[in-house]
Amino acid sequence: MTVKHFSVEYNKVNDRGTFSPGDILSGRVTVVTSGETKVQCFLVKAKGKAKVTWYEQEGQATGVHSDKKKYFYFEHIILQDKNKGDGSEIISPGRNVYPFTFAIPNVDMPSSYEGKWGKITYSLRAQLTQSIWLVHKTKTEFPFLTKSEFPFASKSDMIIIGLKEQQYATRISFYGFEKVTMNVTSEKMGVKQGEAMGVSVEVLNESTRTVTPKFYLCEKQTFAAQSKRIVHTNDILFGTGDSVPAKTSRTITKVLSIPPQLPPTFFNCCMMKLEYRVKVTFDVPLARDPEIRLPVVVLLGSPKPHQQKPKRSIWFRKLPA
């Protein structure tokens, strides 16, 4: 065991430390040995891939649904013996550094992502084979960002305009002969990572009970494999509005702040996609909670922190008798 240290590293190409299609991926493999080391094969690989796997109960058996897609694969042989097995290549004692360079294909590929039942990864792997029984391996992943500004739809003008427009929805719920109307408005559909937007709900409570609106950001992950599909959803509470007493109306606005690290919406992977919704629902005792969902597209970006103060209830009035 003369190999004391074995690692692979890459050079950053920007302040974020991310890579995109068309970038040059360069780095080094470092090997530290305590003596002369015979090598059968020594190589470094760069790989981009997507993989999904989940299990389902199918009768008495458990079915496995899995699929994978390779976006690119490159291999660079650093050392290889001439006679394929005699270990004729030698690594000198001490610290040895071997540089490498790969050109990432300039084609559309999804960003790095890890979900409930699948992930998209981009990695560097190095392998040093001394014999069939002695193989050293090392691996590191590098963050990858798609070049597509809108990795969720075609770049039509209507889609781009729609991201900036307000979204509206109305729901009328009945509790016996009593009625509660909820009108929900979001400032826009497209919002960048780290950005904020207002979500307003106008409640016309004509019932004899108090209702309380709750605001959620909903995540929807969809995975596909072998003609099967599975969905994972997650609701994140980001606000509870003031209660609206019986026979009154009120408009309440909450500010939704998108976490800077929240993965952006994407559809440009054939095996998985990520979507978001804003959900507004009532907390009504002894009743099925009505809800309204509005689409939200999370875009890549790190804008300045939102300076506007959180909005509060705008008005409060009695409904006419």
Residues 96 and 175 in one domain: no
Distances in Å between the alpha carbon of 48 and those of 65, 94, 141, 142, 255? 21, 32, 10, 10, 37
Strands 94-103 and 178-186: unpaired
Q: Please, where are the H alpha helices in the chain?
A: 157-164
Task: Name the residue among 280, 109, 276 with its Cα closest to residue 191.
Answer: 276
Residues 168 and 312 in one domain: yes
- Residue 149 belongs to some domain of the structure: no
Residues 189 and 258 in one domain: yes
pTM for this structure?
Answer: 0.84
Count of domains forming the chain: 2
Give CA–CA dist 128/98, Å, rounded: 12
- Residue 62 belongs to some domain of the structure: yes
The 10s digit of each residue's pLDDT in 35-61 is: 988 899 999 999 999 999 999 887 778
Domain boundary among 88, 113, 141: 141
**According to the model, what pLDDT value does residue 313 have?**
33
Task: Name the residue among 7, 39, 46, 24 with its Cα closest to residue 130.
Answer: 39
- Residue 151 belongs to some domain of the structure: no
Domain boundary among 95, 116, 141: 141
Confidence class for position 153, pLDDT limits 50, 70, 90: low
Task: Name the residue among 243, 241, 249, 240 with its Cα closest to residue 179.
Answer: 249
Residues 137 and 204 in one domain: no
Residues 274 and 131 in one domain: no
Q: How many CB atoms lie within 10 A of CB 250?
A: 21
**How much is the mean pLDDT over the chain?**
86
Confidence class for position 155, pLDDT limits 50, 70, 90: low
Q: Please, where are the H alpha helices in 156-230?
A: 157-164
Residues 115 and 174 in one domain: no
Q: Which domain holds residue 225?
A: 157-318
- Residue 146 belongs to some domain of the structure: no
Domain boundary among 141, 167, 201: 141
Query: Domain with 105 in it: what CATH number?
Result: 2.60.40.640
Confidence class for position 173, pLDDT limits 50, 70, 90: confident
Give CA–CA dist 228/56, Å, rounded: 11
Residues 176 and 307 in one domain: yes
Residues 127 and 171 in one domain: no
Give CA–CA dist 178/287, Å, rounded: 12
Residues 55 and 119 in one domain: yes
